[in-house]
């Protein structure tokens, strides 16, 4: 498997599954007949931080042990996961977020016992600052290219294999690629599951890297899916993993993301942020033809009330 021997990945995946099973109950899977017969939603928005990112954070910090503090950069959900996991494990955490971070995510961060630093106008600015702060007392943790973070996200796949009989396709959002990489690794160990990724058309970093064979900076426009926005870190291992293990990667527009947020609120009474609604957006738009069972990962709910109201009223 790309970047690491198969035996190394297997050990990390197994360890992450044990850690997550001991700390977090499986998130619900519900049917969504409005998307098609056999289509389900995996509600990672029900996690204690409102996002799947807590899985990777908990797996990575548990693997590292308590000898050092941790510093990381995030547009919000990864930082929330690290803060929650660090508090649970008694590890000091420093979280660097850009000024563009959603106010809902920033407010949630400031309620947790961690050091929060707002720096720069983009994820790239925050990430450079976080890396600069890493040293003897702080270990830098990547949000999408750390192997234990990826192994933690893979536990969603492990849960799905126990929750759904038969074969199915998982549809997930792709930003930095940690979630898609983890699900792809889980699928590589289980024939019944395949994975398709969805990225915001406003932030085509992953599709650009896949076409070029290397990470290339792209222009990132404003998007409802702020959790999928931003450039990839140089040398991101998620690029190779996605190339090797995913069955496709498709874009969704801002209008399609908004439609999906409205669908989830109307049909299921669910609050989803733009990144969390992106898989549903692709299914609603017909970008991903549904044949047989499919599962859309509703990856997070952390959207501001103002943004949600504007989408619902449109």
Span 194-220, pLDDT tens digits: 999 999 999 999 999 999 999 999 999
The arrangement of strands across the sheet holding 39-43 comes to 29-31, 39-43, 293-298, 168-173, 193-200, 249-252
Q: Say which residues have a Cβ less than 8 Å from residue 295's Cβ, sequence separation at least 6.
A: 29, 39, 40, 41, 42, 160, 164, 168, 169, 170, 171
Question: Which one, of 305, 285, 304, 227, lies nearest residue 35 by Cα?
Answer: 285
Burial 55-73 (b: 16+ CB within 10 A, else e): bbbbbbbbbbeeeebbbbb
Question: Which one, of 206, 202, 228, 227, lies nearest residue 217 by Cα?
Answer: 206
Q: Are strands 138-140 and 168-173 parallel, antiparallel or unpaired?
A: unpaired
Domains and CATH numbers, the chain: 6-51+146-313 (3.40.50.1100), 54-140 (3.40.50.1100)
Rounded mean pLDDT of 48-77? 92
How far is residue 193's CA from residue 166's CA, in Å, rounded to a whole number? 9
Q: Are 150 and 144 in contact (CB under 8 A)?
A: yes
How far is residue 141's CA from residue 297's CA, in Å, rounded to a whole number? 24
User: Given this model, what pLDDT does residue 1 score?
Assistant: 47
**Please, which pLDDT band fits residue 73 given cuts at 50, 70 and 90?**
very high
User: Given this model, what pLDDT does residue 4 score?
Assistant: 66
- 165-to-30, 161, 184, 293 alpha-carbon distances in Å: 14, 7, 18, 9
Report the alpha-carbon angle 56-247-8, nearest 5: 45
User: Given this model, what pLDDT does residue 7 score?
Assistant: 78
Tokens of 95: 């979280």
Reported as a single tens digit per residue, the pLDDT across 233-285 is 889 999 999 999 999 999 999 999 999 999 999 999 999 999 999 999 999 99
User: Given this model, what pLDDT does residue 50 score?
Assistant: 96
Rounded mean pLDDT of 69-83? 94
How far is residue 256's CA from residue 258's CA, in Å, rounded to a whole number? 5
User: Given this model, what pLDDT does residue 214 score?
Assistant: 95
User: Given this model, what pLDDT does residue 260 score?
Assistant: 98
Reported as a single tens digit per residue, the pLDDT across 167-196 is 999 999 999 999 999 999 999 998 899 999
- Whether this model's pTM surpasses 0.75: yes
Q: Please state, as a whole number, how many other Cβ atoms lie within 10 Å of the Cβ of residue 140.
A: 17
In SS3 terms, 25-90 reads as: CCCCEEECHHHCCCEEEEEHHHCCCCECHHHHHHHHHHHHCCCCEEEEECCCHHHHHHHHHHHHHC
User: Given this model, what pLDDT does residue 67 score?
Assistant: 72
Q: Say which residues have a Cβ less than 8 Å from residue 299's Cβ, sequence separation at least 6.
A: 44, 45, 51, 52, 77, 172, 173, 179, 227, 275, 276, 279
Reported as a single tens digit per residue, the pLDDT across 95-124 is 999 998 888 889 999 999 999 999 999 888
Rounded mean pLDDT of 67-87? 92
Q: Are 199 and 249 in contact (CB under 8 A)?
A: yes
């Amino acid at each position: 498997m790309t970047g690491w021997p198969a035996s190394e990945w297997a050990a990390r995946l197994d360890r992450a599954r044990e850690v997550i099973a001991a700390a977090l109950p499986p998130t619900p899977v519900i049917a969504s007949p409005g998307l098609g017969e056999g289509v389900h939603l995996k509600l990672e928005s029900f996690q204690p931080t409102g996002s799947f990112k807590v899985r990777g954070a908990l797996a990575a910090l548990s693997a590292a042990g308590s000898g050092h503090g941790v510093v990381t950069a995030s547009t919000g959900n990864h930082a929330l996961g690290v803060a929650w996991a660090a508090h649970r494990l008694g590890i000091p955490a420093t979280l660097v977020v850009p000024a563009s971070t959603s106010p809902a995510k920033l407010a949630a961060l400031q309620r947790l016992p961690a050091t929060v630093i707002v720096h720069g106008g983009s994820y790239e600015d925050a990430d450079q600052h976080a890396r600069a702060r890493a040293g003897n007392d702080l270990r830098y943790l990547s949000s999408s290219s750390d192997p234990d973070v990826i192994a933690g996200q893979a536990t969603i796949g492990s849960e799905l294999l126990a929750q759904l009989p038969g074969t199915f396709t998982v549809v997930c959002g792709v930003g930095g690629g940690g979630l898609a990489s983890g699900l792809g690794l889980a699928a590589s160990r289980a024939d019944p599951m395949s994975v398709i990724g969805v990225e915001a058309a406003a932030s085509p970093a992953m599709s650009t890297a896949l076409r070029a064979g290397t990470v290339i900076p792209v222009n990132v426009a404003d998007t409802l899916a702020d959790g999928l926005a931003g450039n990839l870190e140089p040398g991101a291992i998620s690029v190779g993993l996605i190339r090797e293990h995913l069955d496709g990667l498709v874009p969704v527009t801002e209008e399609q993301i908004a439609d999906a947020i409205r669908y989830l609120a109307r049909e299921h009474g669910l609050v989803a942020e733009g990144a969390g609604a992106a898989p549903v957006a692709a299914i609603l738009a017909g970008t991903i033809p549904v044949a047989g069972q499919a599962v859309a990962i509703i990856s997070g709910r952390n959207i501001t009330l103002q943004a949600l109201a504007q989408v619902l009223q449109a």
